[in-house]
Amino acid sequence: MSSHQKPTAIIDCDPGHDDVMAILLGARVLDLRGLTTVFGNVDLEQTTRNARQTVEFAELTAIPIVKGMAQPLVRDIRHGAHVHGESGLDGPTLAPPTVPVREDLATDFLLAQSHEVENLTLVPIGPLTNIATALRLDPSLPERIKEMSVMGGSLTAGNATPTAEFNIWCDPEAAHVVFSSGIPIKMVGLNVTRQVAATPERRGQIRGIGSRTSTHVADMLDFYSERYRVVSGMPGGAMHDPLAVAALVDPDILRFEPMHVAVELRGTHTYGMTVCDARHLRAGSTDALGTPRGETPNAEVAVEVNADRFWELFLDVLATYQ
């Protein structure tokens, strides 16, 4: 993909093994303006440290790293260490980072970039706290955002709870702000991301590239996949976050359907659930009596994934690293 075709984007992340995969992919297929960090898989200090280690390891130190929010807007803080380990990136070790973090806040960086860049795209792959806060600071932000590809939510089951996906569950109120913002949203949820697993065969293909980067990535995915096997019985770690990047550059990887997505904020058993109206009742559609039904879709929800095509892209991109 030539650089003039690449979406100009910011990845908002909480690394996390699959966040690292998204960064490696995004650095090649997006015109990546920066990484903003947020609490999530582990605390903000650690996710920021992990982002720094990632850009150093992958020789991507020109990409600015900007620290964001350390806590959810309303709810109590939760982390995902059972999947990613205490550091958020357990498994093969990386050198302590030396690359600096920018002085400004992620929310200020996001707003400044939205003025500087025409058609800015956002790729949130952690809790939505930074984006929601930026929207609260400047309600005109949606006018300057082309679209957002969100890894979050689910059309079917959750993972943090039976009904809620982890990123949304970490900060449901923030997710509500984002889904109500009017920004065009691609929702890449668990219903598709859990179908793309780093199986032993896929890890073998990655290792087979034979580079320093691919060897480290295969080692990372070995750790992550073992956690997935124990926690959810899957044959490999789910490639959640890189799919949100892939959605922006290859229309054949994911198929989307327009739906209204509401974030549940009150349910005892459903707090943080993405309630997707899959009835295909578009704005203006009516029931048999002519009564309008269903709310206007606010998101394109991923309903189908071509895992082989994703792996083709991912393996090609990994092969470009040393």
Stretch that binds ligand BDR, among 12-20, 129-137, 201-209, 222-230 (CB under 6 A): 12-20
> 80 touches which of ligand BDR, Ca ion, none (CB within 5 to 8 A by kind)?
ligand BDR
Of 100, 11, 106, 85, the residue nearest 42 (C-alpha): 85
For 88, other C-beta atoms within 10 Å of its C-beta total 25
Least spacing, CB of residue 116 vs ligand BDR, in Å: 27
Which candidate in 240, 260, 269, 280 is catalytic?
240
> 127 touches which of Ca ion, ligand BDR, none (CB within 5 to 8 A by kind)?
none
Site string for Ca ion, 5-34 (x = CB under 5 A): ---------x-x--x---------------
Beta strands in 58-184 (DSSP E): 65-67, 120-124, 145-151
Least spacing, CB of residue 17 vs Ca ion, in Å: 9
Is the Cβ of residue 183 or residue 238 nearer to ligand BDR in the bound state? 238
Site string for ligand BDR, 43-82 (x = CB under 6 A): -------------------------------------x--
Q: Which of 147, 241, 277, 300 binds ligand BDR (CB under 6 A)?
A: 241
* CA distances to 17, 42, 156, 203, 236 from 222, in Å: 10, 20, 27, 7, 8
Tell me whether residue 115 is exposed, middle or buried, using C-beta atoms within 10 angstroms of its C-beta: 0 to 12, 13 to 18, 19 or more: exposed
311 binds ligand BDR (CB under 6 A): no
Question: Segment 105-134, which members bind ligand BDR (CB under 6 A)?
Answer: 125-126
Q: Which residues contact 214 (CB under 8 A, 6 or more apart)?
A: 206, 207, 208, 318, 319, 321
Is the Cβ of residue 12 or residue 222 nearer to Ca ion in the bound state? 12
Least spacing, CB of residue 256 vs ligand BDR, in Å: 18
* CA angle (303, 305, 309) in 5-degree steps: 160
Of 179, 225, 231, the residue nearest 202 (C-alpha): 225
Is the Cβ of residue 64 or residue 152 nearer to ligand BDR in the bound state? 152
269 is catalytic: no
Of 35, 34, 32, 31, the residue nearest 5 (C-alpha): 31
CA 273/CA 164 separation, integer angstroms = 4
Site string for ligand BDR, 168-207 (x = CB under 6 A): ----------------------------------------
Question: Segment 58-97, which members bind Ca ion (CB under 5 A)?
Answer: none
18 binds ligand BDR (CB under 6 A): yes
Q: Which of 33, 67, 176, 240 binds ligand BDR (CB under 6 A)?
A: 240
Site string for ligand BDR, 143-172 (x = CB under 6 A): --------x-------x-----xxx-----
Q: Which of 26, 126, 158, 236 binds Ca ion (CB under 5 A)?
A: 126
- What ranges in 58-170 are assigned the alpha helix state H? 81-84, 106-116, 129-137, 166-170
Of 66, 74, 238, the residue nearest 157 (C-alpha): 238
Q: Which residues contact 16 (CB under 8 A, 6 or more apart)?
A: 40, 41, 47, 50, 80, 84, 88, 89, 125, 126, 241
Residues with catalytic annotation?
Answer: 240
